[in-house]
C-alpha cells in the first residue's frame, strides 16, 4: 500500500471509516489518503482506493470521511446501500470498520437503505423496541419479531438476521446482516435518540 496524492476520478461510494488503535490491530503507522485498501463485506474481499475528504492522514483510533473507488466495480452492482457496514483488512486482520453514508454510483445501490430507514422510522420503531431486539439476540426468545412496517427473522445458529419490508417492493429489498452488525446499528440508533432528548 502506497500513498499517492491524487484525487479520485468518479468516486463510487462515500463512507465513514474508523481505523482501530494500534494496540488493537498491531498496525503502527497512520493511514493515508490515496492508499489502496482491502475491504470486506458479505464474507468477500475487494480492493479499493480511498480518498479522505477532509484530511490527508488518519491516525489510528480516528474516524475519517472518505470516498472509495472499487478496483472491480462490476462486483458491487446492486450489493450496497446506505448504512451497510464493511471491514478494512490488512494481512487478513481487521484494522478498521466503515459504514456507507452515500452511494455515488447509482447501480451499486440495492435499495437496502430504504428498508433500514423504514425499520428505524418513528412510525415503526422505538427505544423500547430497540432494547427488545438487542435482548432477543442473547435470550433467543423469538425467531420472528413483527413491527408496523418490517419483520425481523432471526437465525440463532448462524447469528444472522433478515429484515423484510411488509410490502413486496423492489425499492425495499430484503436486508440480511450478522448480529454484531445489527447490534452496532441499534447502538447508533439509541445514541442518536439519546442525543435528541
The residues facing 149 across adjacent strands are: none
Q: Could you tell me if 69 and 12 are in contact, meaning their C-beta atoms sit under 8 angstroms apart?
A: yes
Report the chain's C-alpha Rg in angstroms: 18
Residue 8: predicted pLDDT: 61
190: cell is 439509541
Name the pLDDT band for 35 (thresholds 50, 70, 90).
very high
Quote the CA–CA distance of 62 and 142 in Å, as a whole number: 37
Quote the CA–CA distance of 13 and 106 in Å, as a whole number: 10
Closest CA to 76 of 160, 142, 13: 13
Residues 6+ apart with CB under 8 A from 170: 111
- Please identify which residue in the block is written with the cell numbers 417492493: 169
Name the pLDDT band for 197 (thresholds 50, 70, 90).
low
38: cell is 482491502
Quote the CA–CA distance of 186 and 168 in Å, as a whole number: 24
CATH architecture of 13-108: Beta Barrel (2.40)
Residue 7: predicted pLDDT: 61
pTM of this structure:
0.81
To the nearest 10 degrees (0 to 180), the angle between helices 179-196 and 112-120 is 50
Domain layout of the chain by residue ranges = 13-108, 112-196
SS3 label, residue 185? helix
Residues 6+ apart with CB under 8 A from 147: 119, 124, 125, 129
What confidence tens digit (pLDDT) does each residue in 68-127 have? 999 999 999 999 999 999 999 999 899 999 999 999 999 999 888 899 989 998 888 888
CA distances from 14 to 36, 53, 65 (A): 15, 9, 7
Quote the CA–CA distance of 101 and 183 in Å, as a whole number: 18
Residue 5: predicted pLDDT: 46
Amino acid at each position: 500500500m502506497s500513498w499517492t496524492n491524487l484525487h479520485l476520478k468518479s468516486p463510487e461510494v462515500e463512507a465513514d471509516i474508523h481505523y482501530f488503535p494500534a494496540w488493537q490491530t498491531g498496525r503502527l503507522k497512520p493511514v493515508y489518503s490515496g492508499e489502496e485498501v482491502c475491504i470486506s463485506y458479505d464474507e468477500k474481499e475487494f480492493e479499493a482506493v480511498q480518498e479522505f475528504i477532509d484530511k490527508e492522514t488518519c491516525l489510528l483510533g480516528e474516524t475519517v470521511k472518505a470516498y472509495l473507488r472499487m478496483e472491480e466495480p462490476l462486483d458491487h452492482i446492486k450489493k450496497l446501500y446506505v448504512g451497510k457496514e464493511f471491514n478494512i483488512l490488512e494481512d487478513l486482520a481487521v484494522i478498521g470498520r466503515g459504514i456507507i453514508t452515500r452511494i455515488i454510483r447509482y447501480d451499486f445501490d440495492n435499495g437496502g437503505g430504504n428498508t433500514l430507514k423504514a425499520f428505524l422510522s418513528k412510525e415503526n420503531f422505538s427505544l423500547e423496541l430497540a432494547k427488545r431486539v438487542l435482548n432477543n439476540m442473547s435470550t433467543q426468545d423469538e425467531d420472528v419479531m413483527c413491527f408496523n412496517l418490517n419483520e425481523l427473522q432471526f437465525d440463532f445458529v448462524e447469528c444472522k438476521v433478515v429484515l423484510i419490508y411488509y410490502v413486496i417492493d423492489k425499492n425495499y429489498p430484503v436486508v440480511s446482516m450478522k448480529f454484531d452488525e445489527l447490534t452496532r446499528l441499534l447502538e447508533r440508533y439509541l445514541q442518536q435518540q439519546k442525543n435528541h432528548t
